[in-house]
Amino acid sequence: MLARVPAFVQRRLLGLMLGCYVLAAVCPGPGEALRGLGVPLPGGSSRITLPMALLALMVFHAGLGVRLSDLRAVVRHPLRPALGVAGNALLPLAVLPVAALVLTLWADASEAEGLLVGLMLVLAMPIAGGAASWAQNAGGNLPLAVATVIGSTLLSPLTVPATLYVAGRVVGPAGIGALDDTATLDGIARTGAGPFAVVAVVLPCLAGMGARVVLGERVVARALPAVKALNLLNTLLLCYVNATGALGRALAHPDPDLLVVAPCAAAAVCFLAFRCGRWAAARAHCDRPDSISLTLATGMNNSSAAAALAATCFAPRPQVLLPILAYSLFQKIAAQTASRRRRP
């Protein structure tokens, strides 16, 4: 019976996420209280917040689901995983200038900057762990998808700060000019993004992979149904907590234009991301399974990590969180569409 719960929830995940967003909009109080919880780190300069802890649990589950045999299958042919990791890391430099040029036409420069920063944060994050599951459902190359997720995750302490810094130069005053001031992003790139990626992404992933090795395949196989059920509850709780930081404030002082343009901008960028992934796979002459995995790896980013970082660094600005929440929905819709169309 317990084994059926994750499958039941997974099939309705988009609807449940929308329900969490609605709950965050009409009842943000508990989520705001949970977002304020945290444990100070030694030295007192920073702390581990509840969203970061929930994110770490999610990434731990992703690491627990990795079989080393899947990774060994692609070690002999590292070019395709490297293409997926590089495509996801370089994607912001291809997509963000287009988004920046469009957003410069927006009348409210402050809102346009907030939307662009939100899109920048989500595109800077490593490949979402769910890309492997969606690739499997769509008939993709599962070992290749797993390898890209792990590679992107392990490199995230380097790629996330570098992406934020370089993208800031591209769309900042010295580039397109959509951002008037990149000081906050530069500060995150220098001091915040790297440690955040290590604590909330890399270490939990390695811990999950190590736990699978220590416990053994048989024990993990018996525990996975319960672990998956708890992880789905954790995912929905994190979705609600992150959404309260944006939707609660946005609806307290409603701006209809912003509530329309944020999802539209996220949808357009998500579409471009998936198209870039498909184009790169075609240029590399990938077969169909590899093409599916590389497309999903390029288009799917860890939006939960982006939301947690945005909630920490841009808490008073809901316009930063809104496109991240919207991107989270649209990338799942795109992945679900690919799964239905390409399932063998």
Within a domain: 42: no
Backbone angles phi, psi at 47, to 5 degrees: -150, 160
Within a domain: 191: yes
Within a domain: 19: no
Within a domain: 14: no
What secondary structure does DSSP assign to 64-80, as a single string?
A: HT--HHHHHHHHT-THH
Range of the domain at 55: 47-342
Within a domain: 23: no
Residue whose C-alpha is closest to residue 261's, from 128, 102, 45, 40: 102
Is the pTM for the entire model greater than 0.85? no
pLDDT digits (tens, 9 = 90+) for 262-312: 889 899 988 888 888 888 888 888 888 888 888 888 888 988 888 888 877
What CATH number does residue 298 fall under?
Answer: 1.20.1530.20
pLDDT at 34 over 50: yes
Within a domain: 28: no
Domains of the chain: total: 1
Q: Which residues contact 35 (CB under 8 A, 6 or more apart)?
A: 49, 50, 51, 241, 244, 245, 311
pLDDT digits (tens, 9 = 90+) for 108-128: 777 788 888 889 889 989 888
pLDDT digits (tens, 9 = 90+) for 207-256: 988 888 888 888 888 887 888 888 888 888 888 888 886 776 666 676 77
Within a domain: 70: yes
Task: Give the integer Cα–Cα distance in Å for 327 and 320.
Answer: 12
pLDDT at 43 over 60: no
